[in-house]
Structure 1
Amino acid sequence: MPLPLYLLAVAVFAMGTSEFMLAGLVPDIATDLGISVATAGLLTSAFAVGMIVGAPLMAALARTWPRRISLLGFLGVFLAAHVVGALTDSFPVLFVTRVVAAFANAGFLAVALTAAADLVPADRKGRALSILLAGTTVATVVGVPGGALLGALHGWRATFWAVALLGLPAALAVVRGIPAGPGRAGDPGGPFLRHELARLRRPRLIVVLLLGALVNAATFATFAFLAPIVTDVAGLGPLWISTVLALFGLGCFAGVTVAGRFADRHPGAVVAGGGPLLLGGWIALGLTADVPAALLGLAFTQGALSFAVGSTLITRVLYEATGAPTMAGSYATAALNVGAAAGPAIAAATLTAGAGRSGPVWASAILVALALVLALRFRHVVGRGTGEVRRDDAL
């Protein structure tokens, strides 16, 4: 795999830390700003909504810019948003900074996904995506638990400052790893924007977008509220939050790494094998979340299964959007973050509806069950390997 791909993963690590860090900071933010835990959890949805809207908008805006300039510009806005977030005492201002940071993250990731796909042969997009997403999973292993620990010791604002500092080596990675020229995104001979957007009418693309969103919604429904599950359901101390997050992150890294070797040629096997296990794991966690040993073990397995199945489905998005060379990354980013927005919102609704602190876990189970029903109905779409990707628009 090309060195620039790994350098892009460094930048994704910095941004992934920001996207996921609130999972360990929700109680602290709620107390500091005088809001409920459910309201503070919606900051995760704010970031995800910004990613959903920002991915296509920023990708369309930057599609003719040199990739290095695009990536550095998005990083600069991202860092500035975190500085403002660290300084504010207002929840509405913090909410807005999360949306702005998400726009910048969305633009960066959309360009990075497209760049990553162009750095490798056409039949190795899954491997390239697994390396890029490894930056995200390392963030859940190191950045997010580290942020939770830093927040527990010095307050949630310290974590925002730390993320801003993380952006500096990320910018260096972009400068060193990405060519200064325009790349395919700046190719005047490429397809018009309207032609790339027209790919969204493809039924197969719609199916894999929906599946990716459902699985990611299940992941984030529980992930956004892991901190109160650890402390209020399992009865563990605040310092255990970082441990559980680290276990979840280790599972994510293992899942995306293993799945990356099969996502290109055997996606159906990954979904058919991992999907039912993922559902069973959420059910088991819902029943045993009050048992610390079970919570610790299932945090790892659910992280692994969630990212194995989810990353495989997102790889299918890149294949089904082949005719959109500058926008495919934004479609994949939007699919990821539709789920990341919907999941915490659904989970928050279970909390306010009186389902108890384990409500988010049961929401995850229901979302995966819906995804499996849809995957079974359209298994001929999900299971297509690289040699079966056709150009027709009908299922």
Structure 2
Amino acid sequence: MNGINSVNGNADNDGYLPLPQGFATAAIHAAHEPEKWEHMSVVPPIVMSTTFKQHSPAVPKIYEYGRSGNPSRNTLEECLAAVEGAKYAMCFASGLGATSTLFGLFNSGDHIICGDDLYGGISRLFRIVGKPLGLEITFVNATNLEEVEKDVKPNTKMIWIETPTNPTLKVIDIAAVSKIAKKHKILLAVDNTFLTPYFQRPLELGADLSVYSLTKYMNGHSDIVMGAIVVNDEALHNKIRFLQNAMGIIPSPFDCAQVNRSLKTLALRMQQHSKNAIAVAKFLEGHPNVIKVLHPGLPSHPQHKLAKKQTAGHSGMISIYIKGGLEESRKFLSSLQVFTLAESLGGYESLAELPSIMTHASVPEEQRNELGISDNLIRLSVGIEDVEDLIQDLKQALETIK
């Protein structure tokens, strides 16, 4: 567990699981021993070299070539593993890059089960890129465990889920899906981008892979694009590490140093995102121009009890259905002054977007309709500004659609 005790955390966490004890300490100190560097710097240096001098042919001191390994990237990977309470972490050029790398684990004809409510880019990757590679993809409502198991075939190699899902914030029972995966000896990958290991530990719940777009909360400053895969199994780690090098989907040392910096404040940021989001959600739930609020921390959420059971809290993600259609959504989003109309999420600033024509526009219309990704569904990424200003901004924007 690398010094993190996820059981004996805070005793009172509003009914959620205890917060991970020692998380902030691990984020600040893991893989950051000044003794690692001759100059004893407290902040790890950024090593930009693409190649490294060797003692003799094929006998490097540690590193040989930047794609195969780099001190800045390795430091970040060690720290990521520590905050997850895991053994191994590997970084990639983006979250989609991390997911694309997993395709290298499979052969033509292999079958993958995917949750039906996914980030649009991931859905596009599985549907459009996976098909010519010969991968068979089945999308299922992963909240329905019977449906998940029913779709397992002899050639099924992996189950891929997001929880909470994007953008309708459904919560999927990781432990229950893990039992299905283990029963059939297939991998379970969980996209944990929305919650980070501060609020949810997929590997501890039985997943084989915990996958991230580090671009979002883990970096949290809207200035880096990167992804990661975290695992405990050594053989699986070795396969993905080989693919990381062979496929070359790696991040730059500078970007790794930036994410490494950001992890130091992850605990503080997630606490504030969580506090702001629940306050905003409660306000929105009482507004006459809001039809429905989706936030796992609200008792009105269909999987509220499950969220309390498997997570230690929720991030800044909220989705809402407002009165009206596309015209009203455009008016509402254009009227926001503190929230910024933009794609992405998880930064310190608050963002708002319209999934149907932005982040999820690539999802087939029929599937969007089935999932409820309508033109009046707004996705909010609540930042860490003063919550009173956020609520006032939403209030004045909602008043424009009367």
Using the size of structure 1 for normalisation, the TM-score is 0.29
Using the size of structure 2 for normalisation, the TM-score is 0.29
Comparing both chains, which one has the higher relative contact order based on Cα–Cα distances under 8 Å and sequence gaps of 6 or more? 1
More strand by share: 2
Instruction: Return the index of the structure with the highest Cα Rg.
Output: 2
More helix by share: 1
